[in-house]
Structure 1
Amino acid sequence: MSRLITILLLLITCSASASIVSEQRVPARYMQTTEDADIWAQVGDKVVTVGNIRAGQIIAVVPGAEDYYAFRFGFGSGFIDKGHLGLVSGNQRVEDSLGDLNKPLSNQNLITWQDTPLYNAPDVTSEPFGTLAENLRYPIIDKLKDRLNQTWFQIRIGNRLAWVSSLDAQEDNGIPVLTYHHILRDEENTRFRHTSTTTSVRAFTNQMTWLRDQGYTTLSMYQLEGYVRNRMNLPARSVVITFDDGLKSVSRYAWPILRAYNFKATAFIISSRIKLKPQPWDPKTLQFMSVSELYDISDVFDVQSHTHFLHRVDDAMHPILLSRNYHNLLFDFKRSRRALAQFNPHVLYLAYPFGVYDDKAVKAANDAGFHLAVTTVRGKVKPGDNPFLLKRLYVLRTDSLEAMSRLISNQPQG
């Protein structure tokens, strides 16, 4: 059995390990690395090498299964081979001269694009603690400027404080949540060519190919919630793909493309428009998926709510959600969750119709049992954001891959 499989089994059998380490239900003991030691952790839904700790470093660990100790790593647990640890030598002990180990996190992360050095003090001449691997998001405790006006990030690993130079890592500017609706082949798109919410099969294929080639991980809404609420370690190259409405073109075109790349996505479904049987394909009309089509795409798409009857406008072309009272909204939201439960027993996320919302819609979404809600306000999602006002991004059919790169890269959005 490979080492990574062993660690994966350890994660499964010790599912409470993160809370054990963080809450100290099992007493932690300080041990010292006897040699440079690789460390592993679950990042997203994979167990990966997340860096190493240099020889002679002291960390707090708790007993793990088989050949590993567990320790606090970000929002979960890391694992280190027991053979790399020994008793703390001499009279050494952890002197926490860098700050309070119980200091709360700052709702900010750093991002690593390459193997990133960790130091025991905010000074490149200080003793090295180890490295963080590339493609990680890691929670920050604090930031400071040194005497040369260089920014340093303070982090916590295994109940030890360490420092990362901003020359080696970036501050996290959020995860992009991409929004799509309709998708058609160029030659059959005679009606929706000038509709911004309609993309082409060619453009979508190119965009997904670019994400794959750049090494992006596609996240579920459950993982996005873990990010917003500071509960989950995720890769630096992360993106969420969403499709609103539940149109038939999603199952016809988007599904096979995403499946070919082993990507995951979220389908926000208008539950009252689900068809009992598949409709003959007609690219000149907006057709909605059937019950069987929604079941078919479930290997790629996670079904979530786009309301039941609220995706409509009034005679003045205003979204009716804004004119409905709280009780009407609450009833609709709950009805949508019940209707979609046949496809997914965990309907926990909502996309507001047309992206609009008001105070009563936010309250109703919360009271109906949703955990998050997304809008069409432009921007990325960051830890600590209002979970019922999350932003998203559009990548248009006419956008170049360079424009897409700028949009989803780790740069502040204007």
Structure 2
Amino acid sequence: MFMRFLFLLLLVSGSAFASLIGQQGVPAQYMQTTEDATIWAQVGNHVVNVGNIRAGQIVAVTPIAAEYYEFRFGFGTGFIDKGHLEAVRGKQRIEDSLGDLKKPLSNQNLITWKDTPVYNAPDSGSALFGTLSANLRYPILSKLKDRLNQSWYQIRIGNRLAWISSLDAQEDNGIPVLTYHHILRDEENTRFRHTSTTTSVRAFSNQMTWLRDQGYTTLTMAQLEGYIRNKMNLPAKAVVITFDDGLKSVSRYAWPILKQYGFHATAFIISSRIKRHPQKWDPKSLQFMSVSELEEIQDVFDIQSHTHFLHRVDRYKHPILLSRSYHVILFDFKRSRRALSQFNPHVLYLSYPFGGYNGKAIKAANDAGFHMAVTTVKGKVKPGDNPFLLKRLYILRTDSLETMSRLISNQPQG
């Protein structure tokens, strides 16, 4: 029965999911596990096995009219079968393990790359609370060092404070947001071979194959927003794929590859350059997607803004946005959102033209109704980052897969 419920959860998402699991105002109660109990939670778009809680552990759960209980798991809700729990016997001492439950989060996560032991105290000799599964991001409350100078991460599961050794998990160094523009076959690329913003179909296909084979999940910008605002559980192996400008080569070459692997991506579109009808393919010119092409790729691509008329440079080759007034920028941003609303009623994310921004552009982006904006500054996105100054990474046509692995793996960026 419980597995049938989980299958149902996999079929629902967004507000439907929230309404299904939401039981606002129902007080939590402490219960004790009678045996090792598997726990589940929504991570990204899926409900997955996120670990287990050992027999005899006390957790706070929310009783609801179902065959499972809900409990607090990271930034979301976990699920545990009612058959694994019973009322707490006698006067169990649980206060020592509860601590300050209102303590703010630290904008820091840990990452699990294997099934990871969770302890009742910052001591590997203490009793096990349970385990966290591989491929999770989980919020850290604080860190400390033990008498052997070993670092420990304090976390919270089901209103219980618990500990994970830094020998068993890593600190989260952020989610990579990959930047692409133009994509061509090697034999037809006679004009753009030496531009860093053009990649080859072969290189892009190899990169996407590598992401698939390594088990990466591709995120939407909305999920990235949930991550930086500490509102969503996401897998450890996660990446955001973005394409700037809205070039025809995206629908011709990138879209089929991404679709083949079931990947999601974001297309930042210069709304004034959308064509009324598809153009005949010409690899020697920069062609832009048409209305019908943009409609067709939406099973893979989320359509977002790359401005309306501001994707230009001045005579000094500087982004023209930098010399425009706040009111001109605001007008352009709003116009772009309106123009793109025919494809997406939720145009909430912006890519600055040529990565150029200043205080006026940041204020205009916020005032125009955008939730986040991406730059071309190199780096990864972390919780608590300024949502209007998000960093990205370039993977070039000439980069090896080893270089790609080094760039997007969970290592600190230099």
Q: Please report the TM-score for the alignment, with normalisation by the length of structure 1.
A: 0.97
State the AA in 2 paired with 1:157. I
User: What SS class does the counterpart of residue 209 from structure 2 fall into?
Assistant: helix
C-alpha deviation, 1:99, in angstroms: 3.2
State the AA in 1 paired with 2:152. W
In structure 2, the CA distance between the partners of 1:65 and 1:199, relative to structure 1 (3 Å rule), is: farther
C-alpha deviation, 1:15, in angstroms: 1.2
* Aligned pairs (5 A) from 1:127-276: 127-276=127-276
User: What SS class does the counterpart of residue 413 from structure 2 fall into?
Assistant: coil
For the residues of structure 2 that align with 1:332 and 1:150, how far apart are their CA atoms? 53
C-alpha deviation, 1:314, in angstroms: 1.2
Range 86-95 or range 130-139, more displaced: 86-95
Answer yes or no: is the 8 Å Cα contact 1:70–1:80 preserved in 2.
Answer: yes
Answer yes or no: is the 8 Å Cα contact 1:207–1:401 preserved in 2.
Answer: yes
* Aligned pairs (5 A) from 1:82-101: 82-97=82-97, 99-101=99-101
Answer yes or no: is the 8 Å Cα contact 1:38–1:51 preserved in 2.
Answer: yes
For the residues of structure 2 that align with 1:76 and 1:18, how far apart are their CA atoms? 10
2:312 is the alignment partner of 1:312: yes
User: What SS class does the counterpart of residue 103 from structure 2 fall into?
Assistant: coil
C-alpha deviation, 1:9, in angstroms: 6.9
C-alpha deviation, 1:97, in angstroms: 4.6
Question: 1:350 is matched with which residue?
Answer: 350
C-alpha deviation, 1:94, in angstroms: 1.5
Question: 1:5 is matched with which residue?
Answer: 7
2:343 is the alignment partner of 1:340: no
Give runs of ≥4 in structure 1 deviating > 6 Å: 9-12
* Aligned pairs (5 A) from 1:58-77: 58-77=58-77
State the AA in 2 paired with 1:272. S
In structure 2, the CA distance between the partners of 1:17 and 1:110, relative to structure 1 (3 Å rule), is: farther
For the residues of structure 2 that align with 1:65 and 1:14, how far apart are their CA atoms? 16
For the residues of structure 2 that align with 1:221 and 1:100, how far apart are their CA atoms? 33
For the residues of structure 2 that align with 1:398 and 1:388, how far apart are their CA atoms? 30
C-alpha deviation, 1:65, in angstroms: 4.0
Aligned pair partner of 2:18 in 15, 18, 28: 15
2:375 is the alignment partner of 1:375: yes
Answer yes or no: is the 8 Å Cα contact 1:17–1:70 preserved in 2.
Answer: no
In structure 2, the CA distance between the partners of 1:134 and 1:309, relative to structure 1 (3 Å rule), is: same
Q: What is the CA RMSD across the aligned residues, in angstroms?
A: 1.5
For the residues of structure 2 that align with 1:9 and 1:313, how far apart are their CA atoms? 46
2:240 is the alignment partner of 1:279: no
In structure 2, the CA distance between the partners of 1:206 and 1:14, relative to structure 1 (3 Å rule), is: closer
Question: 1:292 is matched with which residue?
Answer: 292
Answer yes or no: is the 8 Å Cα contact 1:307–1:353 preserved in 2.
Answer: yes
For the residues of structure 2 that align with 1:19 and 1:155, how far apart are their CA atoms? 23
C-alpha deviation, 1:133, in angstroms: 0.4
C-alpha deviation, 1:268, in angstroms: 0.1
In structure 2, the CA distance between the partners of 1:44 and 1:97, relative to structure 1 (3 Å rule), is: closer
For the residues of structure 2 that align with 1:9 and 1:399, how far apart are their CA atoms? 38
Answer yes or no: is the 8 Å Cα contact 2:97–2:160 preserved in 1.
Answer: no
In structure 2, the CA distance between the partners of 1:331 and 1:299, relative to structure 1 (3 Å rule), is: same
Answer yes or no: is the 8 Å Cα contact 1:17–1:77 preserved in 2.
Answer: no
State the AA in 1 paired with 2:374. V
User: What SS class does the counterpart of residue 240 from structure 2 fall into?
Assistant: strand
Answer yes or no: is the 8 Å Cα contact 1:10–1:65 preserved in 2.
Answer: no
| Deviations, residues 176-230 of structure 1 (Å, cap 9, x unaligned) | 0000000000000000000000000000000000000000000000000000000
State the AA in 2 paired with 1:159. N
C-alpha deviation, 1:90, in angstroms: 1.9
For the residues of structure 2 that align with 1:10 and 1:93, how far apart are their CA atoms? 39
For the residues of structure 2 that align with 1:69 and 1:335, how far apart are their CA atoms? 47
For the residues of structure 1 that align with 2:45 and 2:110, how far apart are their CA atoms? 20
C-alpha deviation, 1:89, in angstroms: 1.3
Answer yes or no: is the 8 Å Cα contact 2:307–2:353 preserved in 1.
Answer: yes
Answer yes or no: is the 8 Å Cα contact 1:275–1:291 preserved in 2.
Answer: yes
User: What SS class does the counterpart of residue 55 from structure 1 fall into?
Assistant: coil
Q: Please list every run of 5 or more consecutive structure 1 residues that lacks an aligned counterpart in the other structure.
A: none
For the residues of structure 2 that align with 1:206 and 1:260, how far apart are their CA atoms? 13
C-alpha deviation, 1:317, in angstroms: 1.5
C-alpha deviation, 1:96, in angstroms: 3.0
Range 217-226 or range 308-317, more displaced: 308-317
User: What SS class does the counterpart of residue 139 from structure 2 fall into?
Assistant: strand
State the AA in 1 paired with 2:329. L
Answer yes or no: is the 8 Å Cα contact 1:18–1:76 preserved in 2.
Answer: no
Q: Please list every run of 5 or more consecutive structure 2 residues that lacks an aligned counterpart in the other structure.
A: none
State the AA in 2 paired with 1:136. L
C-alpha deviation, 1:16, in angstroms: 5.2
For the residues of structure 1 that align with 2:255 and 2:163, how far apart are their CA atoms? 43
State the AA in 2 paired with 1:288. F
Answer yes or no: is the 8 Å Cα contact 2:229–2:384 preserved in 1.
Answer: yes
Answer yes or no: is the 8 Å Cα contact 2:246–2:288 preserved in 1.
Answer: yes
C-alpha deviation, 1:390, in angstroms: 0.1
C-alpha deviation, 1:18, in angstroms: 7.5
C-alpha deviation, 1:7, in angstroms: 4.5
State the AA in 2 paired with 1:240. V
In structure 2, the CA distance between the partners of 1:299 and 1:13, relative to structure 1 (3 Å rule), is: closer
Answer yes or no: is the 8 Å Cα contact 1:51–1:132 preserved in 2.
Answer: yes
Question: 1:81 is matched with which residue?
Answer: 81
Answer yes or no: is the 8 Å Cα contact 1:269–1:307 preserved in 2.
Answer: yes
C-alpha deviation, 1:112, in angstroms: 0.2
C-alpha deviation, 1:13, in angstroms: 5.8
For the residues of structure 2 that align with 1:6 and 1:93, how far apart are their CA atoms? 37
State the AA in 2 paired with 1:326. Y
Q: Please report the TM-score for the alignment, with normalisation by the length of structure 2.
A: 0.97
User: What SS class does the counterpart of residue 96 from structure 1 fall into?
Assistant: helix
C-alpha deviation, 1:66, in angstroms: 1.9
C-alpha deviation, 1:318, in angstroms: 1.4
| Deviations, residues 21-49 of structure 1 (Å, cap 9, x unaligned) | xxx72110000000000000000000100
C-alpha deviation, 1:64, in angstroms: 2.9
C-alpha deviation, 1:102, in angstroms: 1.2
C-alpha deviation, 1:93, in angstroms: 3.9
User: What SS class does the counterpart of residue 279 from structure 1 fall into?
Assistant: coil
| Deviations, residues 292-331 of structure 1 (Å, cap 9, x unaligned) | 0000000000000000000001122211100000000000
